[in-house]
Amino acid sequence: MARFGLVLVIALAILGFMSFSEAQLKMGFYDKTCPNAEKIVQSVVNQHIQNVPSLAAGLIRMHFHDCFVRGCDGSILINATSRNQQVEKVAPPNLTVRGFDFIDLVKFVLESKCPGIVSCADIITLATRDSIAAIGGPTWSVPTGRRDGRISNATEARNNIPPPFGNFTTLITLFGNQGLDVKDLVLLSGAHTIGVSHCSSFSNRLFNFTGVGDQDPSLDSEYAANLKTRRCLSLADNTTKVEMDPGSRNTFDLSYFKLVLKRRGLFESDAALTMNSEALSQVRRFARGSEQDFFAEFAKSMEKMGRIGVQTGSDGEIRRTCSVVN
């Protein structure tokens, strides 16, 4: 009898695992329910990316920030419904995130073709991949089937999104919390090869690094002087934008890693990659390697990140409007 009970438990466990596996992400999830879903996303991206190539940087940042809070569930898109509600959007790391209107546009087009089928979480993931590919960057596989989360919390965003002023210990802890490792940290930091940053994200490195009006010694002095005299003129400047990869902010390439080795990464988190031997080894490898190899490995890390904490099956919901929980 005891043996029968054990067999029954094992059988139920296997069935449960099978059900769980079947509910997970898969390629072509919408093939039957909305056959052209992925083509529609790609089409809308391609229609806009040529006029606004900076969209790619905005979307990959949104995807990154979304996945680090409750998983890749589109919770970053949710608007507050009351004055006291503190959603992810209002957390300091997300105040400069762009692309919300674009995601709304893609959702509108999809809803007109396949109402209530495609999740906002999948839209972010697909649009990010398609926008990076559209500017000549890598592409990667995006299994779909994510469901949208119902909870959005500013405190969770503040506590879980790796900050630009993070040291290596902070960064690897936050990445590790999501099942990502040192190699993922270095590869995903490579996305800083595109886009811009507000001075407020790094100006303390220029004017008040330790609180006594000093400059960050890990930042190249010539680069710092250039920033102080031509871009970020004071610690109070929170509007000026600076290219993270000067001269090629819309080109996905290896130059970010080369800048980091020259101590010209804009953020403390960039410099942090040189403070750990394993991370530094990876930075050097990519800086000296081929773009093809970087693209291939970046793609793997993006696929890995895109699976963080996903809701599938009957969990979550498919929002009708990305900014509002049903």
| Active-site annotation, residues | 65
Residue 16 burial (10 A CB sphere; 0-12, 13-18, 19+): exposed
Question: Is residue 101 annotated as involved in ligand binding?
Answer: no
The token duo for 159 is 């506590």
Question: Is residue 201 annotated as involved in ligand binding?
Answer: no
Question: Is residue 128 annotated as involved in ligand binding?
Answer: no
Instruction: Tabulate helix, strand, coil % of the chain (nearest 5).
Output: 50, 5, 45
DSSP 30: T
Question: Is residue 115 annotated as involved in ligand binding?
Answer: no
DSSP codes joined into one string, 50-118: TT-TTHHHHHHHHHHHHHTTTSSSSGGGPPPSSTT---GGGSGGGTT---HHHHHHHHHHHHHHSTTTS
Question: Is residue 71 annotated as involved in ligand binding?
Answer: yes
Give dist(CA 43, CA 48) in Å, integer: 9
Question: Is residue 253 annotated as involved in ligand binding?
Answer: yes
Residue 12 burial (10 A CB sphere; 0-12, 13-18, 19+): exposed
DSSP codes joined into one string, 241-292: EEESSTT-TT--SSHHHHHHHTT--SSHHHHHTTSSHHHHHHHHHHHHS-HH
DSSP 33: T
Question: Is residue 193 annotated as involved in ligand binding?
Answer: yes
Question: Is residue 66 annotated as involved in ligand binding?
Answer: yes
The residue count of the chain comes to 326
Q: Which amino acid is at 127?
A: A
| 269: three-class secondary structure by DSSP | helix
Cβ of 321: how many Cβ atoms within 10 Å? 15
The annotated binding site for substrate is made up of 162
The annotated binding site for heme b is made up of 192
The annotated binding site is made up of 66, 69, 71, 73, 75, 88, 162, 192-193, 245, 253
The annotated binding site for Ca(2+) is made up of 66, 69, 71, 73, 75, 88, 193, 245, 253
